[in-house]
Chains A and B, each alone.
Chain A
Amino acid sequence: MSVDTTSVFAGVTPEPGAAKPDPILVADSVRRQFGGLVAVDVIHAEIQRNQITALIGPNGAGKTTFFNLLTGFDEPDGGTWTFDGHSVGGTSAYKVARLGMVRTFQLTKSLARLSVLENMRLGAGSQRGERLFAGPFRWLWRGQEQDITERADELLARFRLDQMRDEFAGNLSGGQRKLLEMARALMTDPTLIMLDEPMAGVNPALKQSLLDHIKQLKDEGRTVLFVEHDMDMVHEISDWVLVMAEGRLIAEGTAAQISGNQQVIDAYLGAHHDVDLGAMDDQEAMEKLGLDADDLGVEALAHIGETARGVGEPEGSA
């Protein structure tokens, strides 16, 4: 963590819904229910501009659903939110993206029968040739296309996809598709980029350089919000961390502050109270969380199911 970062969050109390000095995204009472299951119920959340914020939580916590709501891919049962001063609740997904709030998907969406390069070019906004009546006339969009291609090639090189440039995206490996999706999102020149598990399936050697890219995004003046289960990564690059469990925001703080938070540990290890976490230091506990998150999440999910059927009490409500 750099020094200036600490200063930005210096006056911020590490508690759920904490106010930030310069929030780019502010959400209020965002709620989404699937049948009897409350997937998201966020009372207040703020994301600080030009910082890297992590959103963590066990499987089924509602992180992806929260992303879907914020970006217009799902409709909330209630709630409002603003992005960069615009009220964007109820705005269609494409308009949200045009405002500069661009997301990637947990289940990668590569456009299989387009080449990697075409995937990238698609990301560029304001291409004149995307208008029906300009399309047939190449001279109207050719110059622009060249600039776009140049930008795409730079990004592809940065994400080590340049040798795959002319392949169909469907021929990429799972990890390469993740990279492509992230690079493609960057083609839109987003102000806020929201990454849903960008590291899942990316090999360790590349992970490190990806981390550097994400840090570089911050240097470019962008804001990053990412969902991640890999606690090492969260520790390494996030300036601030939001923790969700069972749809609610249960904790906030820097990575260091979060790792000692008893509620967070409860949320992750709800079914493992017998494990003596007190005997471990923070680092060790977090490592355990990172390693076991997937495994534990399944049980947490089953537990939510029980709660919905009225069998038990929600664990996180304590």
Chain B
Amino acid sequence: MNWSLIVWNALYTGINAAAAGYCLVASGLNVHVGYTGLLNFGQAGFAAVGAYAFAIPVATYGWEWYWALPLVFVASILFALLLGLPTLRLRADYLAIVTIAAAEIVRFFLNSVRFTWLTGGSDGRNQFTGFFQDLNPLENNARYKLGAQSIDGYRLFMLFVGWGLVALIALLVWALMRSPWGRVLKSIREDEDAARALGKNVLMFKMQSLILGGLIGSLGGLILSSQQQSAQSGQFATTLTFFCFTIIVLGGLGRVKGPIVGTIIFFFLIQLIDNTLEQATRRDKIPEWLVDQNNYGQIKFVVAGLALAALVVFRPQGIFGDRREQVFDVR
């Protein structure tokens, strides 16, 4: 087995531009779930809105990036209002139901034949990344070495853009969550009636949280599609949301570094398991009846799922969480 290649591969998957996109989507989700206690199961919807609100006007209508970028913000805020206004006054479970449904509606719409003229249908939207290519100081098509990996200049640039954005967002979330505004969000997570009894306009704070986390998720979607140079509805399936849940639970809910640590570990492990199984099955190191070359791709998720279950049981506060928080019964 070529362990060095396996590890290099896993490392690269943990830090590549796609991982940065996931990390952003997860950071937004962390604002919702980790800090405010809003059960948003439709974060993929925000990501899709972000990607397509940029890709459609640029690719279909030839807009300049500086018009398309504000549209990402506007569309994502509108999406948050649309989800939030009817559901935020209801019990938490309703938001979960509505968000997961809304995200799927968005995806089916993007994928539908009828609206191919707008969204590109199953082909998605391409040729909207000129902005990033022009910005790139590196040669877009040249190959660069990153450890054992050889990647093109565009991907390498997007890696820096993605993680740069992650750093900025982390800074913003950190500054907000240490502020009295963040304190109100946390109090809503703990007990929204207590916050109300102290005169906090809970509905407004929840809305602000939904918008902020949604916006961050939209930027994540934009990065995710841009690094692939293609916006595809398949990128925004429910698995995106659930990967992001896994990521923030791994890294610790309601922690600034949670999504970052979680992303790197999550993708590192997934890729490590995947490559190991691939090589092992190819060299007949594992009996056929257990795993063969056709199904190892699924097994990595089984293993990842077991690992996650073990984590939740043995370290519910996440890998770097504060043990003290788990000492008492939260509910």
**A interface, CB within 8 angstroms of B:** 71, 73, 92-95, 97-98, 102-105, 109-114, 118, 121-123, 125, 127-132, 134-138, 141, 145, 168, 170-171, 181, 184-185, 187-188
Contacts and interface: CB of A to CB of B under 8 A. Distances in A.
B176 interface: yes
Contacts of B182: 135
Given A73-B196, A98-B199, A188-B198, 17 more contacts: A71-B197, A92-B196, A93-B197, A97-B197, A111-B187, A112-B328, A114-B187, A121-B180, A121-B183, A122-B195, A127-B180, A136-B175, A136-B179, A137-B175, A138-B178, A145-B180, A170-B327
Nearest to B179: A135
Nearest to A128: B180
Interface stretch (B90-98, B200-208, B268-276): B200-208
8 contacts: A71-B197, A94-B201, A95-B199, A102-B197, A102-B198, A111-B190, A130-B180, A141-B179
A137 B175 CA distance: 8
- Grouping DSSP codes into helix (H, G, I), strand (E, B) and loop, the B interface class, with mixed when no group exceeds half, is helix
B196 A114 contact: no
- Name the residue in A103, A109, A127, A141 with the highest tally of chain B Cβ atoms < 10 Å from its Cβ: A109
B197 A129 contact: no
A29 to B, nearest CB: 25
Nearest to B172: A136
B198 A113 contact: no
A165 to B, nearest CB: 15
B329 interface: yes
A282 to B, nearest CB: 36
Contacts of A188: 198-199
Contacts of A135: 175-176, 179-182
Given A109-B191, A185-B198, A188-B199, A130 B186 contact: no
Nearest to A71: B197
Contacts of A104: 197
A109 B197 contact: yes
Contacts of A111: 186-187, 190-191, 194
Given A114-B190, A129-B179, A170 B330 contact: yes
A135 B176 CA distance: 5
Contacts of B201: 94
Interface in B163-220: 172, 175-176, 178-184, 186-187, 189-191, 193-202, 208, 212
Interface of B: 172, 175-176, 178-184, 186-187, 189-191, 193-202, 208, 212, 254, 324-325, 327-330
Contacts of A123: 198
B183 A114 contact: yes
A135 B195 CA distance: 18
B199 A113 contact: no
Contact of B199 (A94, A110, A129, A131): A94
Contact of B190 (A113, A130, A138, A187): A113
B179 A73 contact: no
A141 B196 contact: no
B153 to A, nearest CB: 34
A58 B31 CA distance: 44
A302 B201 CA distance: 38
Contacts of B254: 113
A145 B178 CA distance: 12
Contact of A171 (B190, B194, B328): B328
A118 B197 contact: no
B213 to A, nearest CB: 12
Given A132-B208, A138-B179, A109 B194 contact: yes
A74 B183 CA distance: 25
Contacts of B191: 109-111
A201 to B, nearest CB: 16
Contacts of A97: 196-199
B180 A141 contact: yes
Nearest to B189: A113
B196 A170 contact: no
Contact of A122 (B184, B212, B325, B327): B184
Contacts of B190: 111-114
Contacts of A102: 197-199
Nearest to B212: A132
B317 to A, nearest CB: 10
Nearest to B328: A170
Contacts of A185: 197-198
B177 to A, nearest CB: 9
Contacts of A125: 198-199
B258 to A, nearest CB: 14
B193 A118 contact: no
A105 to B, nearest CB: 7
Contacts of B329: 170
B200 A113 contact: no
Contacts of A171: 324, 327-328
A262 B175 CA distance: 62
Given A94-B200, A97-B199, A188-B198, A114 B186 contact: yes
A110 B329 CA distance: 12
Nearest to A132: B208
A112 to B, nearest CB: 5
Nearest to B191: A109
B253 to A, nearest CB: 10
Contacts of A128: 180
